[in-house]
Each structure stands twice: as C-alpha cells, then as structure tokens.
Structure 1
Amino acid sequence: MSDGLSPSNTPALRFLFRYRDLVADTLPEHRAVLRERGWCWWGWWKRPNEPGRTEVWETLARETAAGQRVRIGLFHSGTGTVHPAVVERVVVPRADDLGSFVSLSPPEAERDGVPAYYRSSRHSRGWLRLVALAEEPIEFFGRFSLASAPPLPHHPSSQLERLVGKRILDADELRTMDTTIWEVRPAQPADSSERFLTASQRQDGALSAEPVACPGPWLLHLTDPHYATGQFRREHQWRLEAEDGATRPTMVDAISNALDHYQRSVGAVLVTGDLTYVAAQDEFEAARAGLFKLTNGLLGLGMEHLVVVPGNHDIAWTRSDSYEYAAPVEVAPAEATANYRSFFQALYGYPASPHLSMARRFVFPGGNLVDVAAVNSSSLEQGRSFLAGMGRVQEAAYREATSALAWSSPGSALRMLALHHHLALTEDLESPDEYASGFGIAIDAPRIQRMAAHDGVHLAVHGHKHRAFVWRTEAYHLPEYNNERWKLGSINIVGGGSSGSISSDGRRNFFNLIRVAGPVVELEMYRSQQQGSFERFMTWRAPLVSGAVGDRLEIAPWQVIS
C-alpha cells in the first residue's frame, strides 16, 4: 500500500482520532469515496465537554499548508482497532462569539467528497481531507505512546503530566478518556507502562443523581418515533439514517431544522417509548443511529443528556412477525426485553436497570434544576388475557428511579415523571374498539398519581396515544383512610403525540420543548404534517408557586400564551 500504511510497516502516526460506527459502516463508506476521487473528507464529531483542540488543528493546518502529508490513526472505540490514514488538508474548528464551536462543512465544491450518509448533516466541527486510508488495522497498543497529555476535565495537571511519554496499553485506556483526539508518537524503550484508567465525568449508570450540566435551556421531549424496517417500514414516515435520499429529511434532521429556525438551544433529550414498531433488532439499530445523531451530532450533547424508557412496542412479548394485540404470550419476560436491553447497552455503554428505569438530575443554564424519573410502564404482558397495549408501572420500577433522586425528601428541582402510558384519558369519547387495550391508560394510574403527588412531582410526560395532550390532575388520599391532609398535590400532564409514526390523525408528528425559566415552566408544542417542516403551534406556561406543605413548590394550572 502507498504512503507506508501497510500493517507490516507500522507508520509513525502523529495524532489519533476517535470514531464509532453508529450511523453507517464508517471506514468502507469513506474508502468508497476515496477510491472514486482519490480523496475524501472525514468529519470530526467533538464531544460536548471537549475543548476545540485548536493546538492540534492549527498544527495540522500549518503542516498541510506547507505541503506536508500528516499520518494519523483512526481509533474505533467499539472494536478497539486502529487504522492509519493520511491527511493532506483540514478545515479548522471555529468558535462563535460565545465560545461554542459551530458546525462546519468542507468547501461547497467538494461536498460530494463526504460520504452520502452524513453529507447534509451538521455533526462536524472540523474536517480532515484524507488521501489514504488503510484497509487493515495496525498493531498499535504497546507500540505507541502519548506525546502530550490530553486535556481531560477534572484531572489535576500533575496527574496529566504523568501521561506524557506513557505507552498506550490497550483500548480501554483510550475509551475511558473523555476526548476524541490524542497526540501520539512511536514508543521508546524508556517510556512508562503504567496503566491509566480515568474516571469519566459522564454518567456510567441508568440511575444517577449526579448533576449533569446542560449547555442549552430547553428539554426536548420526543415519543413514539416507531422506527420500522422490513415489511413494516412504512410505519415510520421519515427517511431512516441508513437510507439514501438527501432531499428527504430524517426525523431528527427535521427536528433539528425546527430548533435552528426558532433559535432554540436544547440541553437534554427525553424519549418516552415506542422507539420501534415490533421490537426487532434492525429497528433498534435504526433508533440508535437516529438518537446518536441527534444528541452527539446535531445537538452537540453527550449520552448523559439523553433519557430513554421503553414503550409497549419495544417489549417483544410474542414471537409473532406482526404487532398483534390479541397474540398469546409465548416468551418469558427476560427474553421479551432482551432486544431493548441490547439496544440500551449499545447506546449508553452500560446495562439498563433491572426495571428499565432511568434517573437524571439536569442542571440547566441559570442553575435551574430538573429531576427526571423515567419509569417503564410496559410491564404488563400482552396477550388475550392481558389487555394488550395497556400499561402498568410496577411500584418497584417507580421506587427504583425516585429513590435514586431522593424524592422522599424535599428538594428545589422541578420534578418530572416520564413514562410511556397515560395517567389520564386523552379522548373526549374513547372508541369501544379500544376496550380490549384498556384505552392506552396505565391500569394503576390513580396509584401512580398518588405516589407522584406525594413525592412532589410537578410534571408528568408521556406518549402512547399519538396525540398532543395537556392536562392537569389533583391527587387525594382514598377517603376510607384517616389522614390529616387529604390533598396530596397537583400534577400537570403533557402528552407528546408521535414524532415519527404514520399512524396519527392527518399523518401529523409532534415534539415538545420544556424549560424552567425562573419561577415558570414553559411548554412549546411543535407539529409537522406529512413530513413537512415542524412548526410551533402552541405555547403554554405554568407558574411554580409556594404550596400548602412546608416550603414545597407546587405547579399552577397551564395558561395558554399563544
């Protein structure tokens, strides 16, 4: 192979760039363009908390401008392999007036040098023009050392200085570092072989009360995207990430376009179930690609900013090839949730909780705290005797999430309960045909409302019925029990409709934006029809007021703003 990239001839790499296959097969896609044109563009996906690494990019720009070709390595964080490549030109990252690094593209005349699967996206903060990309990986670990210390957050300089001249022993050392670029050099005999595994500041579990700093003030609520493949492909009405057709937007592209149009900066994402149509592995792969692109690419967020819970379509209670409400139960619960658990592990890098719950404490700009307890409401087996499609929240699942956030004690955060099924009916008149599925409501909705109100929950968000929805409920103790205080509290409710399903009135899709602005909760609702642009169609607000119980904040009724 030219440029000295043969595996038997280990090249002297200068820098190592991290990547992962989540949207497409990255290396083959780039090689195809390179074979056709003699070069290709490689986009850099910066981590949310990672600096712009201007010292690396300026070095690359200076040396390539002088006619040098710089050898780098491409580190696949999933497989742990390193493929060498050669850079002949770069597009250097650029920060805006507020210091945030903006999305960039290669020169317009060379846009077709980007693989089609992300040619029209806004993921990348910098670009490498490659003129060679090895077919086979090289023996990297143990043979290369760090030439400089990567800028790892929350690590003292004295600790980072010890990394200079240290051999890189294995892929795990790199995986645990919250960075995507390393300056490297061939190892020397005197280099240290000390093992270094850093504790990342990113969340490493589904249930955590560790504060997550959010770069934008809005929480994006999506639900029921129903990613679908194969014979059910039409159930998801947007283009999938793996499909060609740059003129047709994907769901996350359309959402991102709306956020840009309305100048809304998102700091966290919440998805309340029914990611798939029949819980197939291919559907979960499509969902994973879309969510990763949305968070890490379009919004510049990390996986710690994403909360996901399953819906009834994500739990495969039967082996049927179609989604049938009346199908008998044929598989045990462990097998029923296996595909969802595999999806969760692949998306986050750690396992789902025992009850598929999640807990996060988000810190939005201005110090506004939002606790999200996301619980699985799809624990009720589907079948002839089970009111298929109906929801139930196991109390253990609720406690699993709320205990992680210490909701039994007073707190200053807005408390948000997220689940897939409804806590209240959504229709003026339910169809009798819906009786067998329980009208989509959780069968234990009153109990969940009482527990949530007791724990000071302000807002409940859900999906399931593909209808945008706002409501308010007050929870009381049952009258046959003696209580000093009968009223437990009030909860405002938001239904998210569906962000991707074709099965909705008028083929409409929706998403919501929620934020805490001082003593007020704001809700913006967005709507798209038949793959058109998402447009804001309603705005609501609900003040946070002093409650009757101690100094606990309560949420006031919704008020329509526009």
Structure 2
Amino acid sequence: MVSKKLALRFRDAQNGIDTITEHLNVLTEEKSVWWGWWKKDHEDIDEETLDFIKTIKGNITLINRENTSCHSAFVEKVIFNDEMQKNLSSRIPTYYRDNSSNVYAWFLLSKITPKKYNKSLDRQFSENNNPTYVISSSKITNKPINNANRAALHKNSILLLSDLHFGDDYSHELSDSPNSLSNIIYKDLASLSLQDDISTIIITGDITTHGNWSQKQMSLATSELHFIAKKLNVEHSNIIVCPGNHDIVRYPKDSDEYNIEQKSISNQQNNQHERDFRLFRDSLNGKNWQAPLNQNQKYHINNLDVDIDIITLNSCAITATKWSEYGYVGRQGIDTIIDSNKNQNSTKKKYKILALHHHILPTNDLEQLNHNGISMTIDAVEILSKSIVSNINLIVHGHQHFFHATEYVTYNRYSKSEDKKSIKILSNGSIGVKASRRANNERQSYAIVTFNIENVEITARELTGNNSNCVSIVKLYDDYLI
C-alpha cells in the first residue's frame, strides 16, 4: 500500500522576508517552529483529508513554486487555530505572528532541510489549480478540467465589455429606460445587424466601484447584466467575468506602508478579500464561488466548426510588494495559460482569447511612477511570453478607461524575420464609468469579436454623445490557428 504524503505550497509573502530563513531562525533558537498553513477561504477539505492531516507525524514537503525550491520538514504535531489562539506561541515567526488568527492550522516542525525540486509535484499543483496543499495517492479537491469537453455555441459573435463601475461612478440610466446601457448596446448592435448574433459576453473587471459589494449593489450589478443578456438572448452561464481592482480590493484606501504590508500578509493567508466577488460571480453566471478565478473555458461554434478558448485571469492576486496599485496573476494564472495549450484538436480551426483586467503594455501617459507604484501588470513579460508559446490570438483587458489597440511581436534569436510571432492586444476602455474618471475627454467604448468562415473580425465601437450613437473606431482582422 502506498502511503500518503502531504505537500504544502508557500511563497514569500513580503519583500525582504525569506520564509524558510525566518522559520529556520526560530527553529535554531527554540528547537522547533510553528509553520502556519495558509489555507484559502475557497478551498474545501473533506473529512478524510482532515483526519489524515490531524494525525501527521513525520516528513512533509514544503514547496515554493515561485522560486522553484523544495524543503523536507519533520512534523511533530498538528494543531488548529482555535487551540493556538489560547496560548499564542513565541515559536511563530514575528512577521506574521500578529496575523496568526487568520491561519487555518499549525505544524510544529523540528527540522527543515533543502531537497531537490520535485517537478512531478509541481505538475500536481499546476494541474489542480495551484491549491495550498496536495496529498499524493489520495483524492484532491480541485480536479483538472477535462479539455475534451466543449460547450456548443450557436451564434458567431462575442461582446467585450469593461469597467462598468456600477455605483457612484456609473454613468448610465438603469433597467429598460431609453438611455440604459442595455438599450444603448442593443441599438448599436442592431445597426450592425449583430443584435441576434451574440453568444457570449466577456467582462474584464471593475464591475463595481471601490469594492462596494453591499447586497443592494450586488443585486443591482447582477440584474443590470442579466438585463443586457436577456436583450441579446445570451445564457447567464455565457457571461464570463474576471475581477478588477475595484472588485477585489487588496488594500484599504490611503493605507500607510505598515498597514499595506500587514494587510498583504493577512489577505495571502486566507484570500477572504476575494469572497464578495466570488459570490457575485456565482449570482451572475452560476459558477460555484469556490471555483478558480483563473479558468480556461472551451467552446465550439457549431455552424463554423471552430474551437474557441476563452482564458480568464485574476490579475488582482497579491505578491510581495509594498506597492498597492499593481496587476499580478501569479503562478496559478501562468499555469492556466500554459494548460490552455494541452489536449488541443490539431485538425480543427481554433481561436484563443485571453482576458484580464490590468494592462500588460503601456496604454497612455497615465503610466507614471508614484508612491503606489505602477498599475501595469508586474508579471506582464511572463504573461506575454507564455501567451506566445501557447498560441493566444487576442489579449483583451481594461483598467485605464482608455481604448488602445496594438500588436505585440516577438522574433526568436538567430531566426529569419518572417519567423515572427504576434498577439493582438485590445485595451477595451470603459463602457460605464462617468466622464470625470476618463482622461483626456476619452469616450466610452466596447468591442465585438465576430467569427467568420475565413477570418476573425474585431470591431471597437465608441459612444459619441448624448444621443448614444456609436461609431467604429477600429476594425481588425485576424487568422485562425490551424
């Protein structure tokens, strides 16, 4: 019988703090150290797994996928947080001792030693949506997506929306009034004869404003988006959404440097700051609140016999930085891009769209350094390089309330110029935010992706004035992958 083995994933939570070193320092002085298991709020654990973890005494693996390091650790005993809070221990490293109440369980370690990085174990984490733990030879809660299953689409166009900012910053009338967003979009699509051709709606973040997920606000946002879907005859399950920095608020507004660092640690411990957005997504499209925020959703357009992949990333992940206004997708987001290239049907035409909130290239001169750092995505280079390798055709994002279309081209070293690879990148502006939140008199905009027999058509539309008429500001054509 193969024995079960536990591996805990961790990463360095704060600049200048090495997790292993901090724990080793305490272990050297105290002869043992408590290792906090930062289980995430959305991770579910069955009774069998819990019973196994409670009784562990022996070696486990500590894995840091960010810097590809592994350590073996000897566990003397395991306790859960309510027991720890009765007698807070000096054997907890100081950098997260003040936030110990957010820790799910504690492992008392008497030894931590480096070991060779385990690529097989790394793959297990990758294939299971990067959980905080993996138990070998047992059932894992998060299962890999079956790449063979594709949902059927019976219409040929996708509607791209971004930065609606429901709440204080929303500029449109509500429901079925003449100047509601649903009527503006429907009227404009009708002028293009596309009102009956929308199969899917992709929203690249900032659905709400300043993290306001009160019951009233969540209901309003859900009902308005459902109203748009109803007008266009789009199923709720085909409303695809990724979070923006107003949807998942990582740091309180105007926090000082210490509070940002402490809040960063607290949020990384359990990810409870994601819960409101997850519940909103559940009410919007029926996606279980515990489902990953990074996903590859696979479709097939029946009448064209074309496969469509829509990869959504959470660019509001937290990394070890004192900055507060950055984008970051992290290891799980990168895994999702890479996994999108697995089990592809090479005989069919296909098209791959990557959607996230934060921008990955500068879009305008607002991108300046300030005390909050930059707002561009920190791991943009890896996103772009992995997207190129994974044959992503189009990247669409929001965030700056500024429309911009560009093409990112790479040339391999020692290759001919014609061997280039490129990705189209669409900064989709904002379709909802009020004028004072749009720089340089920028107008509201949205986009449409239409799949034709021979090519893919990308059209950006701009609202021109009080009568809500729209004009095309960009029309691009792209090729399928074959």
TM range (shorter): 0.5 to 0.7
Correspondence for 1:542: 477
Correspondence for 1:216: 155
Are residue 238 (structure 1) and residue 172 (structure 2) matched?
yes
Question: For the residues of structure 2 that align with 1:395 and 1:476, how far apart are their CA atoms?
Answer: 25
Relative to structure 1, the CA distance from residue 431 to residue 375 in structure 2 (aligned partners, 3 Å threshold; closer, same or farther) is closer
- Contact 2:207 / 2:244 at 8 angstroms: preserved in 1? yes
Correspondence for 1:414: 351
Are residue 277 (structure 1) and residue 209 (structure 2) matched?
yes
Aligned AA (1:252): S
Question: For the residues of structure 2 that align with 1:421 and 1:206, how far apart are their CA atoms?
Answer: 25
Are residue 520 (structure 1) and residue 459 (structure 2) matched?
no
Question: For the residues of structure 1 that align with 2:218 and 2:357, how far apart are their CA atoms?
Answer: 17
Asked which structure has the greater RCO (Cα within 8 Å, sep 6+), the reply is 2
Question: For the residues of structure 2 that align with 1:409 and 1:488, how far apart are their CA atoms?
Answer: 24
- Contact 1:453 / 1:488 at 8 angstroms: preserved in 2? no
Relative to structure 1, the CA distance from residue 371 to residue 487 in structure 2 (aligned partners, 3 Å threshold; closer, same or farther) is same
Question: For the residues of structure 1 that align with 2:331 and 2:218, how far apart are their CA atoms?
Answer: 27
Relative to structure 1, the CA distance from residue 213 to residue 534 in structure 2 (aligned partners, 3 Å threshold; closer, same or farther) is farther
Q: Deviation per CA, 1:261-313: give whole Å up to 9, x if none.
A: 32212111111111111222233332211222222x11112123221110111
SS of residue matched to 2:459: strand
Are residue 302 (structure 1) and residue 235 (structure 2) matched?
yes
TM-superposed CA distance for 1:211, in Å, is 2.4
Question: For the residues of structure 1 that align with 2:255 and 2:183, how far apart are their CA atoms?
Answer: 31
Aligned AA (1:366): L
Question: For the residues of structure 1 that align with 2:256 and 2:453, how far apart are their CA atoms?
Answer: 45
Are residue 317 (structure 1) and residue 254 (structure 2) matched?
no
- Contact 2:397 / 2:428 at 8 angstroms: preserved in 1? yes
Question: For the residues of structure 2 that align with 1:379 and 1:398, how far apart are their CA atoms?
Answer: 12
Question: For the residues of structure 1 that align with 2:166 and 2:146, how far apart are their CA atoms?
Answer: 26
Question: For the residues of structure 2 that align with 1:537 and 1:483, how far apart are their CA atoms?
Answer: 37
- Contact 2:329 / 2:379 at 8 angstroms: preserved in 1? yes
Q: Deviation per CA, 1:54-103: give whole Å up to 9, x if none.
A: xxxxxxxxxxxxxxxxxxxxxxxxxxxxxxxxxxxxxxxxxxxxxxxxxx
Which residue of the other structure, out of 497, 504, 513, is the alignment partner of 2:438? 504
TM-superposed CA distance for 1:538, in Å, is 2.5
SS of residue matched to 2:444: strand
- Contact 1:206 / 1:353 at 8 angstroms: preserved in 2? no
Structure 1 unpaired stretches of 5+: 1-204, 546-551, 554-562
Correspondence for 1:258: 188
Which residue of the other structure, out of 458, 468, 478, is the alignment partner of 2:403? 468
- Contact 2:337 / 2:386 at 8 angstroms: preserved in 1? no
Correspondence for 2:375: 440
Question: For the residues of structure 1 that align with 2:357 and 2:145, how far apart are their CA atoms?
Answer: 17
Question: For the residues of structure 2 that align with 1:368 and 1:495, how far apart are their CA atoms?
Answer: 25
Aligned AA (1:266): I
TM-superposed CA distance for 1:206, in Å, is 9.2
Aligned AA (1:393): V
SS of residue matched to 1:347: helix
- Percentage identity across aligned positions? 19
Question: For the residues of structure 2 that align with 1:304 and 1:209, how far apart are their CA atoms?
Answer: 19
Relative to structure 1, the CA distance from residue 354 to residue 475 in structure 2 (aligned partners, 3 Å threshold; closer, same or farther) is farther
Aligned AA (1:412): K
Correspondence for 2:392: 457
Question: For the residues of structure 2 that align with 1:346 and 1:293, how far apart are their CA atoms?
Answer: 14
Aligned AA (1:461): V
Question: For the residues of structure 1 that align with 2:464 and 2:408, how far apart are their CA atoms?
Answer: 30
- Contact 1:453 / 1:490 at 8 angstroms: preserved in 2? yes
- Contact 1:325 / 1:389 at 8 angstroms: preserved in 2? no
Question: For the residues of structure 1 that align with 2:408 and 2:337, how far apart are their CA atoms?
Answer: 22
Question: For the residues of structure 2 that align with 1:462 and 1:438, how far apart are their CA atoms?
Answer: 20
TM alignment of 1:321-360, pairs within 5 A: 328=260, 330=263, 331-333=266-268, 334-352=271-289, 355-360=292-297
Aligned AA (1:400): T
Structure number with greater Rg is: 1
TM-superposed CA distance for 1:259, in Å, is 1.3
Relative to structure 1, the CA distance from residue 280 to residue 493 in structure 2 (aligned partners, 3 Å threshold; closer, same or farther) is same
Question: For the residues of structure 1 that align with 2:297 and 2:305, how far apart are their CA atoms?
Answer: 15
Question: For the residues of structure 1 that align with 2:423 and 2:363, how far apart are their CA atoms?
Answer: 15
Aligned AA (2:155): G
Correspondence for 1:106: none
SS of residue matched to 1:267: strand
TM-superposed CA distance for 1:448, in Å, is 0.8
Aligned AA (2:242): V
Question: What is the TM-score when the length of structure 2 is the normalising length?
Answer: 0.60
Relative to structure 1, the CA distance from residue 475 to residue 444 in structure 2 (aligned partners, 3 Å threshold; closer, same or farther) is farther
Q: Deviation per CA, 1:151-209: give whole Å up to 9, x if none.
A: xxxxxxxxxxxxxxxxxxxxxxxxxxxxxxxxxxxxxxxxxxxxxxxxxxxxxx99976
Question: For the residues of structure 2 that align with 1:528 and 1:250, how far apart are their CA atoms?
Answer: 13
TM-superposed CA distance for 1:465, in Å, is 1.1
- Contact 2:177 / 2:183 at 8 angstroms: preserved in 1? no
Are residue 372 (structure 1) and residue 306 (structure 2) matched?
no
Aligned AA (1:215): H
Aligned AA (2:438): S
Q: Deviation per CA, 1:311-337: give whole Å up to 9, x if none.
A: 11111224x4x5879873635242210
Which residue of the other structure, out of 225, 229, 233, is the alignment partner of 2:164? 225
- Contact 1:209 / 1:360 at 8 angstroms: preserved in 2? no
Deviates more, 1:308-317 or 1:282-291: 282-291
Relative to structure 1, the CA distance from residue 206 to residue 406 in structure 2 (aligned partners, 3 Å threshold; closer, same or farther) is closer
SS of residue matched to 1:424: coil
Question: For the residues of structure 1 that align with 2:225 and 2:148, how far apart are their CA atoms?
Answer: 23
TM-superposed CA distance for 1:496, in Å, is 0.7
TM-superposed CA distance for 1:445, in Å, is 1.0
Question: For the residues of structure 2 that align with 1:226 and 1:323, how far apart are their CA atoms?
Answer: 20
Q: Deviation per CA, 1:35-64: give whole Å up to 9, x if none.
A: xxxxxxxxxxxxxxxxxxxxxxxxxxxxxx
TM-superposed CA distance for 1:226, in Å, is 1.0
Question: For the residues of structure 1 that align with 2:359 and 2:463, how far apart are their CA atoms?
Answer: 22
TM-superposed CA distance for 1:388, in Å, is 2.0
- Contact 1:381 / 1:388 at 8 angstroms: preserved in 2? no
TM-superposed CA distance for 1:405, in Å, is 6.5
Relative to structure 1, the CA distance from residue 387 to residue 355 in structure 2 (aligned partners, 3 Å threshold; closer, same or farther) is farther
| Superposition RMSD in Å | 3.3
Which residue of the other structure, out of 322, 325, 331, is the alignment partner of 1:386? 322
